[in-house]
Structure formats: structure tokens, C-alpha cells
Structure 1
Amino acid sequence: MKSSVPSVLTGVVRGGPWTEPTYADSTDGDNVDGEDLEIRRAAVAALGQYNGSVVVVDPMTGRILSIVNQKLALGGGFQPCSTIKLSVALAALSERVISPETRLKLGGANMDLTYALARSNNYFFATLGQKLGFEKVAYYARLFGYGEKAGLNIPAEHAGRFPDAPPANGGVGMLSSFGEEISQTPLQLAAILSAVANGGTLYYLQYPRNQEESANFVPRIKRRLDIQDEISGIKPGLRGAVDFGTAHRARQEDPIVGKTGTCSENHTHLGWFGSFNDVNNRKLVAVVLLTGGRPVSGPTAAEIAGDFYRRLDEKKYFATAQPLTPAALLASPGLLH
């Protein structure tokens, strides 16, 4: 794979901003004129030679700060693998199918939601899907943004897909544990995680196309989700994934929470990791999607995300104050006083 790092950092676009060439070069054709270039540098460097995409969002406003490999991120989507468990967990807690303390006996082992999320236990989430039933699983998935565009007026963005009926192969259990027959885009996962990170506001993701749009960016709310209690129920499991579970390669000094996903679709290996840094200042959502051969996995995607956060931390990104823009003022009303 040839490198196009110099061009993406200076804003030069080859082939137009929204063309769809092959995925051989993860930065080829990207439009970066409205991006946060410090974020982009870290994302490009962390992704390295992997065939994939990195999407970074400000969860307090819905502003997309960078998309590495726009042609992949804005396309038709991929099977979410185990990242669908985030939606299923929120649904199960909302419907009181389980509480955070509920322990299910599966295959001779008792486990609660925290352990099941951290270890990405398929039997646990297949059981939750069966207890919920397809209609409830689908209702909450669509509430969280599956099957609709996550962005607002983003050219070339696709809406992914959520099925109208449970999969013939494995039913609602396979859908709830592997995301069978669902197509998820990185933007959709970033939007859901932004709502978890900010306490329940599902923003339209907006992608400024130039520096003027960036400076004048104003957040747009899609809907507010009544999931504050449920967020408290899932965060220990998302933190556990990084501390001792499937995402341990992302672990570092600052708290990172997230969910991995690993599966195959059409003979292609997929690796997902959706995450955010659970801090008070300059919180970011970072979604990594990898496609390709056998080295591709959710743990590998988590390692890339960890490298991304680490690079920003080394540059003191999280120690600096957020620039005063209309979006920053709206997201932090205290700045107005």
C-alpha cells in the first residue's frame, strides 16, 4: 500500500472528495478541508497499513472531526459483529429483561452483564435476544439509529440495513450476538456511542466541508434517548472490555471504554472497535473498522484505537482547552457566563 499521508495532512484531494475507488489506499480521495488535522494525523498514523477506516466524533455536539477512508466509512455498511451487543444490552435493561446484577447460567457458568460485555459472550446475548424477541430488538435498534443515515446532508452516506424479520439462519439469537443480516456503518456506531458518552442525546452527525463550516458549526439533535440509567448499567462492561476483556490492547492510563466485534462477511474478515475516552475534557468517540484477511479482528481494531488516543495524549491534546466555537458554547452553557 502506498502512503498518502503528506497529501491528507495538507488537504490535497485526489479524485474528488466523494469518489469510490478501491480500498487499497485508506486515505486516497479523502476530503479533509473541514477536519481537525491533529485528530486526523493521529488517526492516519494509528491505522497505518491496515485496510480500514477510522471515524472520530465529538460526542457532545455530533461534529465529525475526521474520517479516514471516507469511501469505506460512507458506503453501504458491514455486519456489526459483536458491536450489536451494545444495542441489545441497552434494550434488555430498558425492558427490564435483566438488571446489571442479573446472572445467567450458561453452559455451567454464571455471568452478569458486565462480564458478558467485557468478554463478548455470544450465548449471553443470544439469550437476551430470545428473551426480548425480534420486535423489541428491532425497535430499540432503530431507535438508536440502525437502518437510517446517521449523518445530516453528508454526500454518499448510506443508511445501512436492519432486517424486517429475524434471520433464517439462527434467528434473533444470531442477530443479537453477531449482527446477522444487519449492515452497520461506522457513522452509525459512532452516533450510538456518542449518545452513550453524552448521557442520551442522539445527534445528527455533521461533517464540515471547509474551515468556515467548522468555525460556524451548530449541533443538531435527532432525538433524546431516555437511557441514563441503562448507560450506567453498561459502562462497567465497556470499561471491563478494555481492562480485562476483548479490547485489552487499547488499555492505557486514561480510561477508555468500548466494544469490539469480530466476524466474517462474504469471506472477508471484519474487525470493529467502537470507543470513547471516559474523561471530562475533550471527550472523543473513535470507531475503527478493519476489513481483510486473517489478522483482522476486533482486538486489532482496539489496539489501533488505543494507539490513536495515545498519540493525542502525547501531543497534550486532552490537556488543552476546547476552542471557543458556536458548537462549544452550546455544548457547554457554562462558558456563556
Structure 2
Amino acid sequence: MTKYIRHPAVLCALLLVALLVNAVRVQVFAARGFDDNPANRRSAIARYERPRGDILVGRERITGSRDTGEQLRYERTYRDGPLWAPVTGFSSQVYGTTFLEHAADPLLSGTDPLLTPFPLWNELTRRLTPGGDVVTTLDAAAQRAAFSGLRGRKGAVAAVDPSTGRILALVSTPSYDPAELSGNAAATGRAWARLNGDPDKPMLNRAIRQTYPPGSTFKVVTAAAALDAGVVTDLDAPTRSPVPYTLPGTTTALTNEGDGCEDAPVREAFEWSCNTVFAKLGVEVGVARMAATARAFGFNEGGLRVPFAVARSTFDTSVDRAQLALSSIGQYNTRATPLQMAMVSAAVADDGLLRRPYLVERTTTDDGNTVGTPGARSARQVMSPGTAMRMRELMEDVVTEGTGGNAAVPGAVVGGKTGTAQHGVGNSGTPYAWFVSWAQGERDVRPRVAVAVVVEDASAVRGEITGGGVAAPIARAVMEAVLRAPDR
């Protein structure tokens, strides 16, 4: 009788071991495959069964969550969606996440282990950790001033705090409402198709993902290179620059938009944006030193994240002398994002120091406890403090005496540089209007804001496309908004 009991007992034990082995196989070794299987909706259901954490500008929540009562319960909402879209991106139940919604997704979705001191206990008890919040560095007044200034035209604005690298404004227009992509209804698919098919590309973040020829705003880099290299020692000495200037090794004549550029000193040439003077200066500085200065400012340097990726700005280093002349006035293959040009202006404002820009001030739990802060940002000296001081003089002269008068802010010291960027086949396209600047309030000990503005579809009247007529007033509005706010 014992034998008849023992045999079934052994068989049951073997079956139990087999079940345990199979459970380990399924839950440990095959779990990833089951989780990633498109037919498995458990992860999607779990992801949306709790409200998502919010993105904040100051104390203002610019995102939220709406209870739909559906299987995918909580849907993302946005406050003033088009205004903040270049920063937030979208969080969609169908199309995933972009920009800050993507970069901070583990924290916002509540899966970041930093949100709970006992992650293993939460795993065992299946307790849902509320999503955390992301507090940005943005200045709401500056963001609104930039958005209003562009008024729906194609273009972008980037503004940073020169002394810290904090991004104060990041605007791209035309924009879109990310709430249109939040859900999973048929309307979401139609919105996705419409936005992707729009020739104006409203989902393109022009401030960080689009590069443009920077035109004459790049003369800030060329002037800094010439001063640091000792090619220019006296801002008021004649430069022996002919008009027109024949590009080296060619018969192509480079001219200027205005008069008075022949042999013009660097100060006057910068004020009135003389192409001939700065093209010649770039050739005299040479490819190696021009490339080194451009790289110090951030050109040709990939990997910049704020925390989402920024497109690489470029300065071609494999150029002949004629191409170098054009590159030195922001043409040929020279290309920059608006954020990159704001960084150029910021380095001038901060005694030649360039600080890496950042967008997240801190991250918190849902009840406000700090999870993380960005900490000290790296900085590098891109030009000598003496060169930076003379560059500030040149940029101030542009606003007080030259082409940038529309950027003047009463009671503040403002430096700027206008730019016109040719593009298209044979430069047939309507030029882009650029303006880069910085501003220091009358009670400030140092500049508080650096701005870059680019407008793609500026007025076809040539005098209005120099940047002074179209882009400078937008920069002024942004600078005024920052200077009016209490210093943080």
C-alpha cells in the first residue's frame, strides 16, 4: 500500500517542480518577450491607470490629466498647448512621447525608482507610485512675449540666463496643440495625419531642431576670433578692406548692402554689418583659428541635451579661402540653431564664459519633495575676458548707433547684432531675419538675459529683412519681460 502512495507522491512532486521551473521561465526569462508583445495591453493599461505628473513653469502647471473612464483611463491635458509645445512635446496613448514629456517620462509616469524609498516593497504590494513633477527654468512672461512677437510667422526664439545657462524662453512657430494627440480616438489619428502633412511643419521645434545660416549674427564669432588671435588690436583703426572684396582665388566680388564699408574700422563695420570687412577678417584669421573659436562657442559639437537633444550647429572646417570668407559672414555651410546663437550672445555677456544651457530646475515627488536638481553646470572660457569686454562694446554700439536700434530698452544696457541669412538656389529665397542680443537692467550687476530670434517669412521689403526691422522688436519684448521680473 505504501508503494501505491509513494509513486503518486513522487509524481506530484515532479509536477510541482515542473510548474515551478516553468513559472520561473515565464516570469524571469520570458517576461520581457511577453511585456513587449503588441498583443499584451497590460503594460499600457497600467501606464494610464494613474494620473501623470505635471510640468511646471514657476508655480503654474502647464499640463494635467483627465479621467476618461475608459480602459486607458487617464489622458494628458495641456494648458495653452501651442505656447508650451516646443518644451513639453506631447504624451500620446498612441504615438508615444516627445521632448520634455519623453526625457522625463520615468518620473512623470511614476516608474522612476527615485520617487519611492522602498521600490521593492511597492513591487511586492503592487502599490502605484504617483507621478512626479518637473519644474522648468522658463520665464512665463518671456515665453509669452516671444510667442506674441512671432505672431504665427515661421520662426523661433531662444533666451537664456548668461550667468547660469537657465533657458528662459523656447518658442517655435507655427505651433500646435499637443492635446490633439493625447487620446486614442479616431480624431487623434486624423490630427496626427494633418499635423504631419502640414507643409509648415508645426511639430518641428525650430528653436533647437532646425539649423539656419546665421548670416551676419555670426560676425560676433568672427570678431571674437580676430580679437583673440591679435589680427585686430584697435577697433577704430582702418582695416584696408576693399569694396567690392574679391573672394580669394576667384573672380567673385562680394559687396555690401550699404555704403561706407571701404577700409571701415571694425567698430563701424560691426555697427553697419559690412560683409567685405568680416569676410576679409575671417581669411586673415585662418581656418584653424576660426574653427577653434567656433567650436569653443559650441559649433561642430554634438551631444548637447537640455535634457532633450539639440541639433548640432556646424562650421565647415574643410574649406578653401574663398569658402572661409563666406563662412565667416555666416553663409556657405555655416548653420546654427537659435539656441546656439543665444549661447554665442550669452558668452559675450558673461565675460567670455559659456555655460551649458538647461531647462529643468528641479524634479519633485507629487507632494513637492525634491527628487533632483541639475547641480552646477559646466562652463568654459571661449574668449578672453578682454575680448568679451570689447565685444560687448561692439554689440552696444549696434543698438545705440547702428542697425539694432529697435532693440533698445529704456533704462537698460543692451547689446545686439542684426543678421540677414541668404538661402535657396542662387540665394533666391526670402532671407531669414536674425537678431541676437543681451540686456542688463539699470540695477543689475551683470547681464540677465541673452536672446536669439530668427524669422523665416519676414517682409519681402529688403530693409525690413535685415533683422533690425523684424527680429529686433521681438528680442526687445523678451528682454523687457525678463528685466521686469525680480532677479531670481
TM-score normalised over the length of structure 2 = 0.56
Unaligned runs of 5+ in 1: 20-31, 323-337
Is 1:54 aligned to residue 128 of structure 2?
A: no
State the SS of the aligned residue for 2:311.
coil
Distance 1:268 1:49 in 2: 17
State the SS of the aligned residue for 1:61.
coil
Name 1:305's counterpart in structure 2. 475
Is 1:258 aligned to residue 416 of structure 2?
A: yes
Name 1:74's counterpart in structure 2. 208
Distance 1:268 1:209 in 2: 38
More moved, 216-225 vs 109-118: 216-225
Distance 1:130 1:10 in 2: 42
Distance 1:262 1:174 in 2: 13
The 8 Å contact of residues 83 and 274 in structure 1, kept in 2 or not, is answered as: yes
Is 1:101 aligned to residue 197 of structure 2?
A: no
Distance 1:177 1:98 in 2: 16
More moved, 203-212 vs 86-95: 203-212
Name 1:248's counterpart in structure 2. 405
Name 1:333's counterpart in structure 2. none
Query: Counterpart of 1:142 in structure 2: which amino acid?
Result: R
Distance 1:256 1:150 in 2: 31
The 8 Å contact of residues 160 and 342 in structure 2, kept in 1 or not, is answered as: yes
Deviation at 1:273, TM superposition (A): 0.9
Distance of aligned partners of 1:15 and 1:54 in 2 relative to their CA distance in 1, 3 Å threshold: same
Name 1:236's counterpart in structure 2. 393
Q: Deviations over 1:283-318 (max 9, x none)?
A: 1111111112544541211121113233455xx32x
Is 1:45 aligned to residue 148 of structure 2?
A: yes
Deviation at 1:229, TM superposition (A): 0.8
Distance of aligned partners of 1:104 and 1:193 in 2 relative to their CA distance in 1, 3 Å threshold: same
User: Which of 1, 18, 38 is equivalent to 2:98?
Assistant: 18
Larger radius of gyration: 2
TM alignment of 1:59-208, pairs within 5 A: 59-69=162-172, 71-99=205-233, 100-106=235-241, 107=243, 109-149=262-302, 151-166=304-319, 170-208=322-360
Query: Counterpart of 2:385 in structure 1: which amino acid?
Result: Q
Q: Deviations over 1:100-149 (max 9, x none)?
A: 23321334844222111111110110110121122221121112211124
Distance 1:125 1:10 in 2: 38
Distance of aligned partners of 1:228 and 1:172 in 2 relative to their CA distance in 1, 3 Å threshold: same
The 8 Å contact of residues 439 and 450 in structure 2, kept in 1 or not, is answered as: yes
Deviation at 1:215, TM superposition (A): 8.9
Query: Counterpart of 1:302 in structure 2: which amino acid?
Result: A
Distance of aligned partners of 1:250 and 1:136 in 2 relative to their CA distance in 1, 3 Å threshold: same
State the SS of the aligned residue for 2:456.
strand
Matched positions, count: 302
Query: Counterpart of 1:310 in structure 2: which amino acid?
Result: E
TM-score normalised over the length of structure 1 = 0.79
Percent sequence identity over matched residues? 26
Unaligned runs of 5+ in 2: 1-77, 92-96, 100-133, 173-203, 244-259, 365-369
More moved, 5-14 vs 253-262: 5-14
The 8 Å contact of residues 420 and 434 in structure 2, kept in 1 or not, is answered as: yes
User: Which of 431, 435, 441 is equivalent to 1:273?
Assistant: 435
User: Which of 7, 10, 14 is equivalent to 2:81?
Assistant: 7
State the SS of the aligned residue for 2:455.
strand
Distance 1:188 1:14 in 2: 20
Distance 1:93 1:151 in 2: 27
The 8 Å contact of residues 5 and 44 in structure 1, kept in 2 or not, is answered as: no
The 8 Å contact of residues 246 and 260 in structure 1, kept in 2 or not, is answered as: yes
Distance 1:167 1:18 in 2: 40
Distance of aligned partners of 1:231 and 1:153 in 2 relative to their CA distance in 1, 3 Å threshold: closer
Distance 2:356 2:482 in 1: 25
- Aligned-CA RMSD value: 2.9
Distance of aligned partners of 1:73 and 1:18 in 2 relative to their CA distance in 1, 3 Å threshold: farther
More moved, 194-203 vs 275-284: 275-284
Q: Deviations over 1:260-281 (max 9, x none)?
A: 1102222352111111103426
Distance of aligned partners of 1:76 and 1:43 in 2 relative to their CA distance in 1, 3 Å threshold: closer
Q: Deviations over 1:22-58 (max 9, x none)?
A: xxxxxxxxxx962222221222222223211111111
Query: Counterpart of 2:236 in structure 1: which amino acid?
Result: E
More moved, 207-216 vs 111-120: 207-216
